Amino acid sequence: MQHKGNEMTAIVSCKGITKVFGKGELAVHALRGIDLDIMEGDFATLAGPSGSGKTTLLNMIGALDHPTEGEVTVDGQSLSGLSKSALSDLRLQKVGFIFQAYNLVPVLSARENVEFVLRLAKVSVAERRSRADAALAEVGLQGMETRRPSALSGGQQQRVAIARALVGRPRIVLADEPTANLDSKTTGELVDLMYRLNQDSGITFLMGTHDPRVMAHSKRHIEMEDGQIISDTRS
């Protein structure tokens, strides 16, 4: 099923996305002709059993992988034919990532991890410092700016990852099982946080998840199975 949101702008547009891993008899069709638009301001969840293609689709949208067939457009820019460097720049400028394993740089403090993407984007020292501190305050980590990831709990590390994903002011934040490693209390806090950021700042979220507590907050629920979208509903 495909949602047609003509009243809103599509941040991401997937047209006929197919992804095949392997060749011949060993070929695995991870995605089978996906058509999907993610609209500005969406707080969408991508659900489905393991192997349904959630992560693969998120990787395609996040310019981390190339589709075998079809085209992905992010903020009006087609990803087809872009070089590795151009894809890196696109991720830096337009996409924020939140991973299940946080993927923070262990030798950098919380502030430095958040600043990192701004340094890559060549933002001035003063601006990146204020934006990083603001982002950390936004996710409730004021006072923990100088702590390294090893000195933070899982939930705190994921908050740093959220701050890092948001600080570059991306067009969309992609989260792959963001709460899988967290306890229920922390999960609740983080879902509330992301939902608030979506509501208050209009940041677009697309989250791959199994977690019913995350799905309960979503305004749009996309269900996948066997590499296809089987339902796409808005609440």
Partner 1 sequence: MLAALAWRNIWRQPVRSILSLIGLAFSSLLLVFMLSFQLGIYDTMKVGALGLLDGYGQFQPVGYDDDPDISRLLPNWQALVEAAELDGINTATPRASSFAIMASGDTSFGAAIIGVDPVTEPKVSTLASTIIEGRYLAKGDEATIVMGEGLVRNLGLTLGDNVTMLGTGNDGAVAADVLELVGIFSTGISGLDRQITQMPLARFQDTFNLGDNINVIALRGGDFSAVLQAAPALAHMAETEGAVYLRWDELQPEVKQMITLDLSTAMLSYGVMIIVVVFILLNTLYMSVLERTREFGGLMAVGMRPTQIGTMVWLELIFLSLLGAGIGIALGAGVTLWVENVGIQFPGMDEVFRQWGISGRVYPDLSLLSAVAGPGVIVISIIILGLIPYRRILGLEPVTAMGAA
**108-127 residues near partner 1, rule: CB under 8 A:** 108, 116-117, 119-121
Stretch that binds partner 1, among 1-9, 58-66, 198-206, 221-229 (CB under 8 A): 58-66
Residue of 153, 89, 78, 164 whose CA lies nearest to 121 = 89
Total of residues contacting partner 1 (CB under 8 A): 26
The minimum distance between CB 8 and partner 1, in angstroms, equals 26
Beta strands in the chain (DSSP E): 10-21, 28-39, 43-47, 69-74, 77-78, 95-99, 172-176, 205-208, 220-225, 228-234
Q: Are 9 and 39 in contact (CB under 8 A)?
A: yes
- Does position 168 interact with partner 1 (CB under 8 A)? The reply is yes
CB-CB neighbours of 49 under 10 Å:
12
Q: Kindly state whether residue 103 participates in binding partner 1, applying the rule CB under 8 A.
A: yes
Q: Cα–Cα distance between 77 and 12 in angstroms, integer? A: 9
- Interface residue with partner 1, options 6, 50, 85, 124 (CB under 8 A): 85
- Binding residues for partner 1, per CB under 8 A? 59, 62, 64-65, 84-85, 88-89, 91-93, 97, 99, 101, 103, 105-108, 116-117, 119-121, 164, 168
